[in-house]
Chain A
Amino acid sequence: MNSSEWLQTILFFIILLSLTKPIGIFMAHVYQGERTFLSPVLVPFERLIYRICGVRTEEDMDWKRYATSMLFFNLMLFGALFVMLLTQHLLPLNPQNIPAFPWQQALNTAVSFTTNTNWQSYSGEQSVSYFTQMTGIAVHNFVSAATGMAIVIALIRGFVGRKTSIIGNFWVDMTRGTLYILLPFSMIAAIFLVSQGVIQNFNAYKTVPLVQMTASHREVTIPMGPVASQEAIKELGTNGGGFFNANSAHPFENPTPLSNFVEMLLILLIPAGLTHTFGLMVGNPRQGWGLLAAMLFLLLSAFGTLQWAESNGNPLVAKMGVSGVNMEGKDVRFGLAGSSLFTVSTTGTSCGAVNTMHDSLTPIGGMIPLSLILTGEVVFGGVGSGLYTMLAFSIIAVFVSGLMIGRTPEYLGKKIEVREMWISILVILTAGVSVLVLSGIAMVTPSAIASMANPGAHGLSEILYAFASMSNNNGSAFAGLNANVNFYNLFGSAAMLLGRYVPAVAVLAMAGSLAEKKHTPPSLGTLPTDRAPFVVWLTLVIIIIGALTFFPALALGPIVEQLMMAGRA
Chain B
Amino acid sequence: MSKHIKQPQSPFDSKLLMCALLDSLKKLDPRILWHNPVMFSVEIASIITLVTFALSLTGANTEPVWFTGTVSLWLWLTVIFATFAEALAEGRGKARAASLRESRTDVTAKQLANAEFNSAFTTVGASQLHKGDLILVEAGEIIAGDGDVVAGAAMVNESAVTGESAPVIRESGGDRSAVTGGTLVIANAIIVRITANPGETFLDRMIGLIEGAKRRKTPNELALEVLLIALTLVFLLVCANISPLSIYSVKAAGHGTPVSLTILVALFVCLAPTTIAALLPAIGIAGMDRLFQKNVIALSGRAVEAAGDVNVLLLDKTGTITYGSREAVSFVPVGGHNERELAEAALMASLADETPEGRSVVVLAKLKYSLIREILKDSEVVDFSAITRLSGINMEGTRYRKGASDSVVAFVKKSGAITIPSDLAGVVDKIARAGATPLVVSKDSEILGVINLKDIVKGGIQKRFLQLRSMGIKTVMITGDNPLTAAAIAAEAQVDDFLAQAKPEEKLRLIRDYQEAGYMVAMTGDGTNDAPALAQADVAVAMNTGTQPAREAANIIDLDSNPTKLLDIVEIGKQILMTRGNLTTFSISNDIAKYFAIIPAALLSIYPQLGVLNVMRLNSPHSAILSAVIFNAIIIPMLVPLALKGTKFRPMPAERLLIHNLLIYGVGGMVAPFVGIKIIDMCIGMLG
CB–CB B241/A439 < 8 A: yes
A512-539 interface code vs B (CB 8 A; 1 in, 0 out):
0000001111011111100101100100
Interface: B249 (CB within 8 A): yes
Q: Which of B158-166, B170-178, B655-663 contacts A (4 or more CB under 8 A)?
A: B655-663
B contact face: mostly helix, strand, loop, or mixed = helix
CB–CB B655/A404 < 8 A: no
Smallest Cβ distance from A498 to chain B, in angstroms? 14
CB–CB B609/A525 < 8 A: no
- Using A407-B577, A555-B610, A563-B607 as known contacts, say yes or no to A525 and B471 having CB atoms under 8 A apart: yes
CB–CB B610/A560 < 8 A: yes
Interface: B253 (CB within 8 A): yes
Residue of A nearest to B242 (CB): A552
Residue of B nearest to A555 (CB): B599
CB–CB B219/A544 < 8 A: no
Residue of A nearest to B571 (CB): A406
Smallest Cβ distance from B481 to chain A, in angstroms? 27
Smallest Cβ distance from B232 to chain A, in angstroms? 12
Q: Which of A134-142, A216-224, A340-348, A451-459 contacts B (4 or more CB under 8 A)?
A: A451-459
CB–CB B654/A425 < 8 A: no
Interface: B638 (CB within 8 A): no
Contacts of B662 in A (CB 8 A): 401, 404, 537
Smallest Cβ distance from B61 to chain A, in angstroms? 21
Interface: B615 (CB within 8 A): no
How far apart sit A533 and B219, CA to CA, in the bound complex (Å)? 26
Smallest Cβ distance from B226 to chain A, in angstroms? 4
Q: How many residues of B contact A (CB 8 A)?
A: 78
CB–CB A456/B308 < 8 A: no
A443-475 interface code vs B (CB 8 A; 1 in, 0 out):
110000100000111011000000000000000
- Using A406-B577, A455-B252 as known contacts, say yes or no to A440 and B584 having CB atoms under 8 A apart: no
Q: Which of A60-68, A69-77, A415-423 contacts B (4 or more CB under 8 A)?
A: A415-423
- Pick from B581, B599, B607: contact of A403, CB under 8 Å: B581
Smallest Cβ distance from B608 to chain A, in angstroms? 9
A187-224 interface code vs B (CB 8 A; 1 in, 0 out):
00000000000000000000000000000000000000
CB–CB A564/B607 < 8 A: yes
CB–CB A405/B654 < 8 A: yes
Residue of A nearest to B249 (CB): A556
- Pick from B227, B606, B657: contact of A399, CB under 8 Å: B227
CB–CB A560/B607 < 8 A: yes
Contacts of B613 in A (CB 8 A): 555, 559
B239-255 interface code vs A (CB 8 A; 1 in, 0 out):
11111111111001100
Interface: B595 (CB within 8 A): yes
- Using A406-B649, A456-B252, A527-B655 as known contacts, say yes or no to A399 and B241 having CB atoms under 8 A apart: no
CB–CB B234/A432 < 8 A: yes
CB–CB B237/A525 < 8 A: no
CB–CB B610/A563 < 8 A: yes
How far apart sit A425 and B591, CA to CA, in the bound complex (Å)? 19
CB–CB A564/B249 < 8 A: no
A554-567 interface code vs B (CB 8 A; 1 in, 0 out):
01100110011001
CB–CB A436/B240 < 8 A: yes
CB–CB B591/A408 < 8 A: no
- Pick from A518, A540, A549: contact of B238, CB under 8 Å: A549
CB–CB A399/B582 < 8 A: no
CB–CB A404/B519 < 8 A: no
- Using A457-B249, A524-B472 as known contacts, say yes or no to A399 and B223 having CB atoms under 8 A apart: yes
Contacts of B224 in A (CB 8 A): 399, 403
Interface: B53 (CB within 8 A): no
Contacts of B666 in A (CB 8 A): 540
Smallest Cβ distance from B202 to chain A, in angstroms? 28
How far apart sit A543 and B338, CA to CA, in the bound complex (Å)? 82
CB–CB A525/B654 < 8 A: yes
Interface: A551 (CB within 8 A): yes
CB–CB A531/B599 < 8 A: no
17 intermolecular pairs with C-beta atoms under 8 Å apart: A401-B581, A403-B580, A404-B581, A405-B657, A406-B577, A406-B657, A407-B308, A408-B309, A421-B223, A436-B234, A436-B240, A520-B311, A548-B238, A556-B245, A556-B607, A560-B609, A563-B607
Instruction: Rank and list the top 7 A-B pairs by shortest CB-CB distance, nearest first.
Output: A403-B581, A525-B472, A406-B574, A524-B472, A523-B472, A404-B581, A563-B609
Which residues of A approach B to under 8 Å, CB–CB?
Answer: 396, 399-408, 413, 416-418, 420-422, 425, 429, 432-433, 436-437, 439-444, 449, 455-457, 459-460, 518-521, 523-528, 531, 533-534, 537, 540, 544, 547-553, 555-556, 559-560, 563-564, 567
